[in-house]
A = this chain, B = another copy of it.
Amino acid sequence: MKRVIICLILTIVFAGFVNAQDTVPPAPNGISFPSDYKDWRLISSSHRVDNNTLRVILGNDTAIAAARFKQINPWPDGAVMAKIVWKETTLDSWEKAIVPGEFVHVEFMIKDAKKYSDTGGWGFARWKGMELKPYGQNESFVYECFGCHTPVKGSDYVFTHPSTLP
A interface residues (Cβ-Cβ under 8 A, vs B): 10, 13, 38-42, 44-50, 54-56, 58, 69, 84, 86, 88, 91, 93-94, 96-100, 102-103, 106, 129-132, 151-152, 155, 159-161, 163-166
Contacts and interface: CB of A to CB of B under 8 A. Distances in A.
B93 A50 contact: no
A58 B129 CA distance: 23
A97 B102 CA distance: 19
B102 A159 contact: no
A37 B161 CA distance: 20
13 contacts: A10-B69, A38-B165, A42-B42, A42-B58, A46-B97, A48-B94, A84-B163, A93-B151, A100-B163, A100-B164, A103-B163, A103-B164, A130-B164
Given A86-B163, A151-B93, A159-B93, A54 B58 contact: no
Contact of A47 (B98, B155, B164): B98
